[in-house]
Amino acid sequence: MKSAALIPARFASTRLPEKLIQDLGGKSVIQRTYESTSATGLFDEVWVVTDSETIQKQILDLGGKVFFSQKSHESGSDRIAEALSEIDAEIIVNVQGDEPFQDKKSLEDLLNLFDDASVEVASLYFSITGEEAQNPNAVKVVLDDQSNALYFSRSIIPFNREKTNEVSYKKHVGIYAYRRAMLQAFPSWPKGNLERIEMLEQLRLLERGIKIRMAETLHQAIAIDTAEDLKRARAYWVDFASKG
Instruction: Give the whole-angstrom CA distance, residue 64 versus residue 81.
Output: 19
Specify the 3-state DSSP secondary structure of 149.
Answer: strand
Please give the biggest Cα pair distance in the chain: 56
Element at 68 (helix H, strand E): strand 65-68
- Residues 157-181, mean pLDDT to the nearest whole number: 92
pLDDT above 90 covers a percentage of the chain that reads 84
pLDDT over 70 (residue 243): no
- Burial annotation 155-181 (CB, 10 A radius, 16+ → b, else e): ebbbeeeeeeeeeebbbbbbbbbbbbe
The neighbouring-strand residues paired with 141 are 152
Per-residue pLDDT at 166: 85
pLDDT tens string 192-239: 999 999 999 999 999 999 999 999 999 988 899 899 999 999 999 987
β-pairing, 121-128 vs 169-179, is antiparallel
Question: Per-domain residue ranges for the chain?
Answer: 3-125+172-243
Instruction: Give the whole-angstrom CA distance, residue 37 versus residue 35.
Output: 5
177 band by pLDDT with thresholds 50, 70 and 90: very high
pLDDT over 70 (residue 161): yes
Per-residue pLDDT at 146: 97
Per-residue pLDDT at 194: 97
β-pairing, 169-179 vs 91-94, is antiparallel
- Residues 23-41, mean pLDDT to the nearest whole number: 97
- Whether residue 97 contacts residue 9, with contact meaning beta carbons closer than 8 Å, is answered with yes
Whether residue 158 is preceded by a cis peptide bond, meaning omega within 30 degrees of 0, is yes
Average pLDDT across the chain, whole number: 94
Per-residue pLDDT at 184: 96
Per-residue pLDDT at 244: 56
Per-residue pLDDT at 239: 79
173 band by pLDDT with thresholds 50, 70 and 90: very high
pTM for this prediction: 0.93
* CATH 3.90.550.10 describes domain 3-125+172-243: yes
74 band by pLDDT with thresholds 50, 70 and 90: confident
